[in-house]
């Protein structure tokens, strides 16, 4: 659950305003988590109450922010440890509408769904198949040339 004092609403994406001489936050917040890319596979930051914890490491592997706390969020404003204030802006996007878990379980058990993205074979599989086909063609070609020379 998102702390109401942050000003964020569930299901909405928020980007962090970039200002000169302040750290750049290239991702977005969604449902109390901070993501770098639209695929939503791994959150690199999250909210604990109003605290924004950001899992960014420096080149030596140490956290950039002490204790991973990048700042706090109040009324759609990220307040960094040095006092800099960065506004959070709502992002426009087409969010999928999710059904409650009980409903999705019933739907999934009743109607099988097609794959969301096509399956791409591995390059080694493609190369192996090409070698197999070319080997068969070569064998047929040699077999045919033996029959014609007899």
Residues 8 and 79 in one domain: yes
Q: Is 54 part of a structural domain of the chain?
A: yes
The two tokens of residue 23 are 């750290």
The whole-number pLDDT of residue 98 equals: 54
Share of the chain above pLDDT 70, in %: 79
Last residue of a domain, one of 49, 66, 91: 91
Domain around 133: 101-149
Residues 144 and 116 in one domain: yes
Tens-place pLDDT, residues 88-137: 999 887 655 555 555 555 555 555 555 556 667 778 878 888 889 898 88
Q: Is 96 part of a structural domain of the chain?
A: no
Q: Is 125 part of a structural domain of the chain?
A: yes
- 3-state secondary structure string across the chain: CCCHHHCCCCCCEEEECCCCCCCCCCCEEECCEEECCCCCCCEEEEEECCEEEECCECCCCCECCHHHEEEEEECCEEEECCCCEEEEEEECCCCCCCCCHHHHHHHHHHCCCCCCCCCCCCHHHHHHHHHHHHHHHHHHHHHHHHHHHC
pLDDT band at residue 145 using 50, 70 and 90 as cut-offs: confident
Last residue of a domain, one of 59, 91, 123: 91
Nearest to 66 by CA among 77, 78, 53, 75: 53
**39 or 60, greater pLDDT:** 60
Q: Is 131 left (phi over 0), alpha (psi -120 to 50) or beta?
A: alpha
Q: What is the pTM of this model?
A: 0.59
pLDDT band at residue 150 using 50, 70 and 90 as cut-offs: low
Q: What is the mean pLDDT of residues 23-29?
A: 91
Distance CA 25, CA 88 (A): 11
Q: What is the mean pLDDT of residues 72-84?
A: 94
The whole-number pLDDT of residue 96 equals: 57
Q: Max Cα separation, the chain?
A: 92
Tens-place pLDDT, residues 31-45: 999 998 777 778 899
């Amino acid at each position: 659950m998102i702390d109401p004092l942050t000003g964020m609403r569930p299901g909405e994406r928020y980007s962090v305003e970039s200002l000169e001489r302040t750290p750049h936050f290239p991702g977005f917040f969604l449902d109390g988590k901070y993501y770098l890319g639209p695929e939503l596979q791994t959150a690199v930051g999250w909210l604990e109450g109003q605290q924004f914890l950001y899992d960014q490491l420096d080149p030596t592997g140490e956290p950039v922010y002490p204790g991973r706390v990048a700042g706090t969020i109040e009324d759609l404003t990220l307040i960094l440890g040095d006092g800099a204030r960065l506004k959070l802006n709502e992002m426009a996007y087409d969010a999928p509408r999710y059904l409650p878990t009980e409903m999705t379980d019933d739907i999934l058990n009743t109607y099988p769904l097609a794959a969301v993205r096509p399956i791409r074979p591995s390059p080694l599989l493609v190369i192996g198949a090409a070698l197999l086909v070319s080997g068969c063609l070569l064998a047929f070609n040699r077999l045919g040339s033996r029959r014609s020379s007899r």
